Structure 1
Amino acid sequence: MSTDAEFADARHSPPIPPQPPRRPVPSGTPGPDGDPQTAVLRRIPAEPPVPAPGAPATGHPVPPRPTVPPPAAGAQPPPRPDRAPGPPAPAAPAAPTPPPPAGRPDAFRDTAAFHLANSQKLWSDSRERGTGAPPAPGSEPTGPAAGRPPRPPWPPTAAPHRGVVPAPGAPVMPRHPSGRRPGPRLLGAVACLVLGIGLIGGAAAGSWLSDEADAAPPTAAATFAKGRDVWHNTPADRLFPRTVNGLGVGPGGADRTWTRIAVAPDSGCGGAYDPKLAAALTRAGCTRLLRATYADATRTSVITVGAQITKADQPGMRALNTRFSTKSLGTRTDLLPLPYAAKGTPAEDFGRAQRASWTVRILTDIPVVVYAVSGFADGRTVAEPQPAEEAVRPGATTAPAESGLGHDAKGLADRVGTDFRKAAGSPTQTTEASS
């Protein structure tokens, strides 16, 4: 049974005064049971009889009455503990307790006064047993160290997966941060991403390599071999354009414009040159001969330009160019190319006697011989033809020079030679000496 004295703060509890001596009850006064003004909480039952030895015990025995009397008047109260109570103060000698009145029970041990009177003894007994005062805040509880549970080690190891019992002594592997392994969809997406990046990188690398290969200039041997096939791999309009504009190539730096009026079918080289020129070109051989005829903007001059595809190799073409240059075979009037006089065109009357100027070019980077021959469109004859390189010189007063026929032959030969080189993929413009 809990008491108020065990939980009350002794610092705020006043000392209990001693009980005054009781007066004898006069005769005729009713007892506590018969006094209507007396509040009796409950009567303590009489002590049960002591059972005989060997008899079964019935009920609970009544504890003995305390023998410590309440403190007398003037006694010092117990010290007020701050955090832990100190040694108890010596108690004053207790005053003699008067005998209880007649007709009243021995004591009411369930009253507050009884517990307050015995609080000092209860406090002293609890201190002696070491269980009365609670431990101070922040202090360790007393007792044997073996009675305290051991602290868990820090930090704790990761727990294994559910349903998996690790082998004794085996290291515990850390769990996946997300608590589960990546699924097959995620792995498939990652694989597709890596594959796509690889394909894109490979395509980019291949494109870069192909661009580098395209940008690299072809070798001289590859260009020479390709030039041998341009006559049947390239459209005629690219080799012989319909209109050719010569900026500043006319007499006095004037502009010239030529329009194509006829294209001859590809053929052999027989009947295309004078006999001596044909003999000079025989060493190079003839694979094909291509020809076209142009007229100037005024329709007063006509020009035939031709390209002979040879069978010679590159050293043979260089040797032929050297022979024409050193022996001046391109300036001899008995070594002229023949014009292509297409019927029904302004060049219909263009024959041997109408030839006024000419030029022959031996190309060394591709197996091609380019020539051009010019004359008057009205069919007039020219007694002394003049090479184009001589007719374009400043101060020349000959008929081919003043009429611009030398400029027409040179300008068209330069343009057709450039078109054949472009078709063969030649990276540079080779300038040969005029033959």
Structure 2
Amino acid sequence: MLGIGLIGGAAAGSWIAEDDEDSAARGFAAAVPVWHSVPVDTLFPPVVQGAGDGPGGADRTWTRIAVAPDSGCADAFDPLLWKVLADAGCRRLLRATYTDATQSYVTTVGLLFTRADPAGMSALATRFRTQHLAERPDLMPRPYAARNTPAAGFGDDQRATWTLSVRTDAPVVVYAVSGWADGRSVDTPQPAADAVRAGATTAQAQSGLGDEAQGLSGQIAQRLRRTVGSAATNATKRPS
């Protein structure tokens, strides 16, 4: 099952159960330090199980093959995409690359921690939604290729499908980009949301690559949501 609001830009739902503005603010604030306060294995575990995340509801297992050094953002996105995201600022970018159980596919999943406040994230999500920016192949995230791994040849030309979500309840953009592990070039990348639609006949759809991007990004987003929710709950228990 996918995380809340992972497709098409703006997010619905929240990291924690909310009943007032204070709890929403606590949830947003709790997400800010996660990039440096949580172990990498918590956000990007060595093995990710995706129950029902494959084509037709099949189960998926992904193995982490590389973790990028935490870094800035400018070189991690197509120039036009970074131009849009730059308005929100880049506090830190975390990325990891995974492969499926058969090592047929590779997927880079990323968590961009922005410097935006809730109003800024809402404005960014609205722009993505109304202008359909998450569907444009000239606004794609770039993969993280690691030497001596199945993703060694995973470059810009190998990107086959992608998904990107702007959260409104946390200063985070969640994304994933997938391709074939054999290094084949792709002339026409396709948004994951289109590749998983019933009746889709593209190579991305028939191979299940859209499910790879959506499923893995959904699992990572769920882990982030649980981590932030726990941090926000703990914050309410501390004496003032």
TM range (shorter): 0.7 to 0.9
Q: Which residue of 2 aligns with 1:242?
A: 46
1:366–1:421 CA contact under 8 A, matched in 2: no
Q: 1:351 aligns with which of 134, 141, 155?
A: 155
1:276–1:335 CA contact under 8 A, matched in 2: yes
Structure 1: stretches of 5+ with no match in the other structure: 1-214, 428-435
Correspondence 1:19-418 to 2 at 5 A: 219-418=23-222
Per-residue CA shift, 1:195-231, capped at 9, x if unaligned? Answer: xxxxxxxxxxxxxxxxxxxx99871111111101001
By how many angstroms is 1:315 displaced? 1.1
Q: Name the SS of the counterpart of 1:262 in structure 2.
A: strand
Q: Name the SS of the counterpart of 2:218 in structure 1.
A: helix
Whose strand proportion is higher, 1 or 2?
2
By how many angstroms is 1:323 displaced? 0.5
Question: Structure 1 vs Structure 2: percent identity of aligned residues?
Answer: 60
Structure 2: stretches of 5+ with no match in the other structure: 1-16, 233-240
Q: Name the SS of the counterpart of 2:160 in structure 1.
A: strand
2:18–2:24 CA contact under 8 A, matched in 1: no
**Could you tell me how far apart the structure 2 residues matched to 1:245 and 1:396 are?**
25
1:269–1:286 CA contact under 8 A, matched in 2: yes
Q: Which residue of 2 aligns with 1:58?
A: none
Give the paired residue count.
213
Greater relative contact order: 1 or 2 (C-alpha under 8 angstroms, separation 6 or more)?
A: 2
**Could you tell me how far apart the structure 2 residues matched to 1:381 and 1:277 are?**
21
**Could you tell me how far apart the structure 2 residues matched to 1:348 and 1:269 are?**
21
TM-score by length of 2: 0.86
AA aligned to 2:54 is G
Question: Which segments of structure 1 move beyond 6 Å, counting only runs of 4 or more?
Answer: 215-218
By how many angstroms is 1:251 displaced? 1.1
AA aligned to 1:349 is G
TM-score by length of 1: 0.48
**Could you tell me how far apart the structure 2 residues matched to 1:382 and 1:250 are?**
21
- In structure 2, relative to structure 1, the CA distance for the partners of 1:313 and 1:348 (3 Å cut) is same
By how many angstroms is 1:351 displaced? 0.5
AA aligned to 2:159 is R
By how many angstroms is 1:378 displaced? 0.4
AA aligned to 1:281 is L
